[in-house]
A and B are shown apart, each in its own frame.
Chain A
Amino acid sequence: MAQIKALTMDLERETHVWQLLKKQFGIPKLAGYRFLKSGRKRIRLISEAAFKLLSKLPYTGTTGLYIGEYSPKAFRLSMDGAQLLGHHATKQKVELTDVQAQQWLQGESVNYEDIQRGYVIVIHNNTILGCGSLSKGLLRSFVPKIRRLKLSDQLPGGECSCQSP
């Protein structure tokens, strides 16, 4: 139970995360979601029903979705966190061209002049790509290495769960 206790956030801190998301991106508090902490800074999002189940489990592996890193002053959304919550954002959004989107998804920083500063939700053709950091005309990419666009390779086959024990 100690492990589960370590995952759950006190209500005050959970409220603070929602406040940060509202302040930074205009994302309102959404019903049916709960936050969990994972390490010192990382925040995960879990459905209300799964959260209720969590309290009954003696131990867990990973829980919910990693949605970003939290510090007292700012919240950096993960790629999937931005995709999940970004639709509710009203500010700190930037739209990329085809070439810029390609470069950004390859993990490269792209030149982007804008009055906005700090963490921004990156969009291309109405699709949210993730979250980047905009400063001094440069948009940094936080696309995880494993998710970056590569130039060529083979079609990966789906791994089968049926390996012999």
Chain B
Amino acid sequence: MTEIKQTATLPPSLQERFQMLLGDEYPQFLDAISKPPTHFVRINTLKTDIDAGLKQLKQLDITYLPLPWYSAGFRISGNLEHLPFTKEYSLGWYYIQEGGSMLPPVVLNPQSHDSVLDICAAPGSKTTQMAQMMNNKGAIIANDRSFRRLTSLGHNIQVCGIINTITLCQDGRHLSTRLPLQFDRISVDVPCTASGHLRSKPPQFEVPDLRRILGIQTIQKGLLTAAFRLLKPEGSLVYSTCSIHPEENEAVVDHLLRSSSDAVLKIPQLSNYRSHPGITQWSDVHFSEKLTKCLRIYPHDNDTDSFFIALIRKEA
């Protein structure tokens, strides 16, 4: 019944797009987006340890399942309404973060001695996760062009107890001319249409407006190009979106590959999660064959929202 209702809600143009992208897996995709959203939590190991965090979840009658791709991430269910009103939540032990959103930092894999740039950082899920992965060492520059969103980033940095992060309020597209620095690793989690958020937010099922998508694509290309300029030779960059549209994903990465001969796509070395390769053709547009090294993650793959991830390395 739900499936029929959901299918009927999808505008025909969106149905057509999803069918083109997913082929035989379209019914599975529909089934997955019809389910209620799954909740996830990240245990902040800068404030507590995993065992203590899990013990408290158990006491709250919350059941948890570890995420196979990240040791501090858990799928939670049960008595969730009490979690934000606990002492531990107030102290910053937990961070509510979508499971798929924990993947880009895992792919980027920042180390404790690295200098890292998060070019579109607010509200800080990935910044705080990276600081956690770096054990509060090294340095992160967390940039966002929205001052309002930067305020929530500052709050999250404070609550999570992070000391290795400096925030900037700049248009990321101009950073490469304004920062006299290069970074070991860069997270480029760009603004997007969020068309992959079909479960965790009330489905709006907007009819894809190609003009709007292409407008956002221009910004995405500018951000990725600027970020790549700020990357050290042999450094790594992760480009990610929570959009399904190829115009915001493969087309943007393809643009970088064509304009920068030293940009090399790498296959993320991860296991225990399902994904699809990036596409090499959309409509009548052909992309580089190398784009199959990108990851497309759909809700029916790992019971998360959709995500697109590309790992790019700058050759020396």
Q: Using CB atoms and an 8 Å cutoff, list the residues of chain A in contact with chain B.
A: 32-33, 45-47, 49-50, 52-54, 56-66, 79-80, 83-84, 101-102, 105, 124, 127, 129, 143, 146-165
Contact = CB atoms under 8 A, between A and B. Distances in A.
Q: Which of B162, B181, B216 has the most CB of A within 10 A?
A: B162
A77 to B, nearest CB: 13
Contacts of B125: 158-159, 161
Contacts of A45: 163
11 contacts: A49-B137, A58-B180, A60-B167, A61-B166, A63-B165, A83-B91, A149-B86, A150-B85, A151-B85, A158-B95, A164-B193
A127 B219 CA distance: 45
A61 B92 contact: no
B153 to A, nearest CB: 8
B191 A165 contact: yes
A156 B163 contact: no
Contact of B152 (A61, A101, A105, A159): A159
A83 to B, nearest CB: 6
A162 B122 contact: no
A162 B201 contact: no
Q: Lowest 6 A-B CB distances belong to which pairs?
A: A61-B167, A50-B139, A47-B164, A158-B96, A159-B123, A162-B194
A105 B20 CA distance: 53
A164 B91 contact: no
Interface of B: 39, 47-48, 80-81, 83-88, 90-92, 95-98, 101, 113, 115, 120-126, 136-141, 149-150, 152, 154-155, 157-159, 161-169, 178-181, 189-194, 197, 200-201, 212, 216, 219, 241-243
Given A54-B166, A66-B158, A80 B92 contact: yes
B84 A162 contact: no
Nearest to B305: A160
Contacts of B200: 157, 160
A106 to B, nearest CB: 10
Contact of A149 (B87, B124, B126, B164): B87
A26 to B, nearest CB: 21
Q: Which of A61, A129, A147 has the most CB of B within 10 A?
A: A61
Contact of B242 (A33, A49, A61, A162): A162
Contact of B181 (A56, A64, A84, A165): A56
A45 B163 CA distance: 6
B171 to A, nearest CB: 10
A102 B97 CA distance: 26
Given A49-B137, A49-B164, A162-B241, A156 B84 contact: yes
Contacts of B165: 50, 63-64
